[in-house]
Amino acid sequence: MKSGLETYKGKKIFIARYDHTTDIELKKEVYEVMTYMTQNKANQDVLALVDTTGTLVSPDVLTLFKEMSLKSTEYKTKTAILGMTGPRRVFLEIVAKFSKSSAMPFDDIQAAKDWLVS
């Protein structure tokens, strides 16, 4: 699993690294992240940075992301997402505004991390 924990300004951020991956690599990484989160982060607050830069998300992977989102209701998350451009970014902003989701799109990793720890 290339994803993992990082300490930033004294707080732990889980970085899900889905950037620049093929569909097969992305599916594998999503499964590994879901397994890790289920085994290690249940009933805990989580700061998450999801990097999708340069990655096309297939319908199969989108289904996995939805499944992961449903499972994450066991704990509170604050999520920053990198690599959301065009219509995907607008969709994420609308969903975040009208749901209880705390997912926000970012173009800059530093700004994303600062928002997470604020």
CA distances from 82 to 39, 60, 68 (A): 25, 20, 17
DSSP state letter for 103: E
Provide the number of structural domains found in the chain. Answer: 1
Q: What are the E-state strand segments in 22-102?
A: 46-51, 77-82
CB contact at 8 A, 51 and 15: yes
Q: Quote the pTM value.
A: 0.80
What tokens appear for 76 in the block? 């509170």
Domain holding 57: CATH number?
A: 3.30.750
First to last CA, the chain: 27
Residue-number span of the structural domain to which 74 is assigned? 4-117
Looking up tokens 């319908």 gives: 59
Q: What is the pLDDT along the chain (118 residues), one digit of tens a residue?
A: 899 999 999 999 999 998 988 888 988 998 888 888 878 766 677 898 989 888 877 778 777 777 776 666 666 678 898 988 777 777 667 656 655 567 788 989 999 999 999 9
pLDDT, position 49: 93
Neighbour count for residue 82 (Cβ, 10 Å):
20
